[in-house]
Amino acid sequence: MVIFMRISWIKAKNDNKSFRIFQHMGFNVNELEDLEKTDDVIKQLIR
């Protein structure tokens, strides 16, 4: 049995300190300008 898992991080666009190491390693880090849209991004990632 093989299980695939995708991991994504969500951060504010003006936050330059969080998740830097993950960005440099090539992981998916979503940057949001409007934090009110966090729920919409999560729904898109689940699909």
Give the helix/strand (H/E) hosting 22.
helix 20-25
Domain that holds residue 23: 8-46
pTM over 0.85? The answer is no
Q: Does a structural domain hold residue 39? A: yes
Count of domains for the chain: 1
Query: What is the distance between the alpha carbons of residues 37 and 10, in angstroms, rounded to a whole number?
Result: 11
User: Does residue 31 lie within any of the structural domains?
Assistant: yes
In a domain? residue 2: no
**Domain assignment present for 37:** yes
Contact (Cβ atoms closer than 8 angstroms) between residue 14 and residue 34: no
d(CA 21, CA 29): 10
**What are the structure tokens assigned to 46, written together?**
């689940």
DSSP bridge partners of 28: 8
* Tens digit of pLDDT at every position of the chain (47 positions): 898 888 899 999 999 899 999 989 988 899 999 999 999 999 998 88
3 domain-assigned = no
Q: What pLDDT does 40 receive?
A: 94
